[in-house]
């Protein structure tokens, strides 16, 4: 599989480029208004994340992962982790000990063919989204299969970009081709009644993400400019969508289906510089990519001198928003409350996967990252809000 430089200066696969296209949309954000409002806000608190446990690593057995595609947490702080290569869900207790395995690779009831995401509802039932099998499987809190629902799934990404709301309705991103354009929308499905609603994503203006093109008589390939900023969109089953420009922490919040922003969230942050070593490494990756495709004329002057700030947006179980960022001071989390106020900033660990969402529940943060041997793990943190508000 071809590896190419990603927007943070690391590398991503050709599959990763597809994920980037699926997870980013264009949007305009009224940044000037955000900046003026930010100056009027009181100073945000500094929260602390304390490591609690690490699930996974280079050891053998159920605690060793190769391809994590989803993390969910129930009301007992038990952690469900979807291992995509084995096509099974592994359940761990709050201390990281294995409780049971759920499902396996197959086409039978309670089995998975291409599951790429999990969610836990308010009744602590586990929902497994399986686009390749075109169905959703629901398991009770004891791991027993409770229901299997057929679901037509026409498009999907690397991980399930969706979830389950308080009423048990499932959300996923689908699309329809209008003329020559693929237009995404949010589908909200009641699987018990087999009814579905179509909710429009924000009508974001199209933006051109700079890229390099290589061609030969036999093939062609496109790779994004390293460290180039992009536009970002995220939604959640709470009925909200957020649009942002990754150069800033300025986020327009929409109600799903609305075309006008409900409000704007903002916080001040300085971008991290692209070091000479990072730039040289990224250029080497681009050239390596081109060598496997064909001739090209990449303009490396397009590589910016600073990195994008905003990396990802993740809602928690209390209606707060956690924004992952890369800043001059290092990796940071910016936390906004349900009213849209920037209430806290927390230092964070680098190297957390930008493709997998953070899970924040009951005062704990669960993040997919890698250990020293580049083996995927799930790290758990407690959040100290001393001095917070």
- Domain membership flag for residue 97: yes
Does residue 30 lie within any of the structural domains? yes
pLDDT at 2: 31
361: domain range?
3-384
Counting every residue written for the chain, the total comes to 389
The verdict on residue 283 lying in a domain is yes
Nearest in space to 113 (alpha carbons), one of 103, 123, 121: 103
Predicted local confidence at residue 238, as pLDDT: 86
Q: What is the pLDDT of residue 257?
A: 87
Tens-level pLDDT at each residue, the chain (389 residues): 233 334 333 334 333 433 333 333 333 344 444 444 444 546 899 999 999 999 988 666 777 899 999 999 999 999 999 999 999 999 999 989 999 999 999 999 999 999 999 999 999 999 999 999 999 999 999 999 999 999 999 889 999 989 999 999 999 999 887 777 778 899 999 998 989 999 988 877 666 789 999 999 999 999 999 999 998 999 999 899 999 999 999 999 999 989 899 999 999 999 999 999 999 999 999 999 999 999 999 999 999 999 999 999 999 999 999 999 999 999 999 999 999 999 999 999 888 988 899 999 999 999 999 888 888 999 999 999 875 44
Is 306 inside any structural domain? yes
List the strands of the sheet with 48-56, edge to edge.
48-56, 376-384, 364-370, 359-361
Residue 66 lies in a domain: yes
Q: How far apart are CA 277 and CA 297, in angstroms?
A: 22
The whole-number pLDDT of residue 61 equals: 73
Check which CATH number belongs to the domain holding 296 and give it: 2.120.10.30
Cα–Cα distance, 353 to 376 (Å, whole number): 9
Task: Look at residue 389 and tell me if it is in a domain.
Answer: no
Q: Is residue 355 part of a domain?
A: yes
Phi, psi angle pair for 309, to nearest 5°: -85, -60
Neighbouring CB atoms inside 10 A of 271's CB total 20
Q: Are 2 and 14 within 8 A, CB to CB?
A: yes
- φ/ψ (deg, to 5) at 22: -70, -30
3-state helix, strand, coil in the chain (%, to 5): 10, 45, 45
Rounded Cα gap, residues 221 and 116, in angstroms: 26
Total domains in the fold of the chain: 1
Q: Is residue 359 part of a domain?
A: yes
Q: How far apart are CA 53 and CA 56, in angstroms?
A: 10
Question: How much is the pLDDT for 372?
Answer: 80
């Amino acid at each position: 599989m071809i590896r190419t430089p990603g927007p943070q200066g690391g590398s991503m696969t050709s599959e990763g480029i597809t994920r980037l296209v699926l997870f980013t949309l264009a949007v305009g954000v009224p940044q000037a208004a955000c900046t003026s409002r930010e100056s009027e806000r009181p100073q945000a608190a500094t929260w602390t994340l304390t490591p609690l446990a690490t699930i996974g690593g280079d050891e053998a057995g159920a605690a060793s992962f190769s391809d994590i595609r989803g993390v969910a947490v129930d009301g007992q702080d038990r952690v469900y982790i979807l291992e995509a290569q084995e096509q099974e869900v592994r359940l761990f207790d709050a201390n990281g000990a294995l409780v049971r395995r759920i499902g396996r690779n197959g086409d039978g009831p309670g089995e998975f063919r291409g599951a790429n995401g999990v969610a836990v509802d308010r009744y602590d039932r586990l929902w497994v989204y399986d686009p390749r099998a075109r169905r959703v499987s629901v398991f009770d809190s004891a791991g027993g299969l409770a229901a299997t629902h057929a679901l037509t799934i026409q498009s999907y990404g690397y991980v399930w970009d969706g979830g389950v709301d308080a009423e048990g309705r499932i959300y996923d991103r689908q699309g329809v081709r209008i003329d020559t354009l693929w237009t995404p929308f949010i589908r909200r499905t009641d699987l018990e009644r087999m009814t579905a609603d179509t909710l429009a994503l924000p009508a974001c203006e199209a933006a051109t993400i700079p890229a390099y093109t290589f061609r030969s008589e036999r093939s062609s390939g496109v790779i994004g400019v390293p460290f180039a900023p992009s536009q970002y969109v995220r939604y959640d089953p709470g009925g909200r969508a957020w649009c942002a420009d990754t150069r800033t922490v300025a986020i327009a919040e929409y109600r799903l289906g609305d075309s006008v922003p409900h409000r704007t969230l903002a916080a001040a942050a300085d971008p991290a510089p692209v070091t000479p070593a990072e730039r040289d490494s990224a250029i080497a990756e681009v050239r390596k990519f081109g060598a496997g495709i064909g001739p090209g004329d990449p303009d490396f002057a397009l590589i910016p001198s600073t990195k994008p700030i905003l990396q990802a947006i993740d809602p928690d179980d209390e209606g707060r928003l956690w924004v992952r960022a890369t800043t001059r001071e290092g990796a940071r989390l910016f936390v906004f409350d349900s009213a849209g106020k920037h209430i806290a900033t927390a230092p964070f660990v680098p190297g957390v996967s930008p493709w997998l969402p953070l899970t924040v529940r009951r005062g704990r943060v669960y993040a997919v990252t890698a250990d020293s041997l580049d083996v995927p793990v799930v790290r758990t943190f407690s959040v100290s809000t001393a001095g917070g508000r």
